[in-house]
Amino acid sequence: MYVILTYDIRVKRVAKTRKVVKKYLHPVQRSVFEGFLSDGKLRLLKNELKNVIHCDEDSVRIYKLQNLQGAELEAIGVYTDSQPICI
């Protein structure tokens, strides 16, 4: 499945959180990651995140798409691994 993960984490845990997420997904913005993951890999990612974040202070959102049919990406401005896109 295709996964988009975003987080809003306390500054003191950002580096650890980013390191965990980068093992599984590609960064596209400072706190946004995406990529294809199996159910097993997603389960591993969530288990690792549970050991890093504090549920009473931090927020992680995971969007799961079964396929990309009909999906469209529009990027404006700086995009990771790319030149800036301006209108």
Over the stretch 13-69, which tens digit does the pLDDT of each residue have?
999 999 999 999 999 989 999 999 999 999 999 999 999 999 899 999 999 998 878
Question: Burial letters for 8-37: b for 16+ Cβ neighbours within 10 Å, e otherwise?
Answer: ebeeeebeebbebbeebbebbeebbbbeeb
Residues facing 32 on adjacent strands:
6, 29
Kindly indicate the confidence band of residue 85, based on its pLDDT and cuts at 50, 70 and 90. Answer: very low
Residue 79 confidence (pLDDT):
61
Q: Domain locations in the chain? A: 2-65
Candidates 24, 17, 23; CA nearest to 49 is: 17
CATH 3.30.70.240 fits 2-65, yes or no: yes
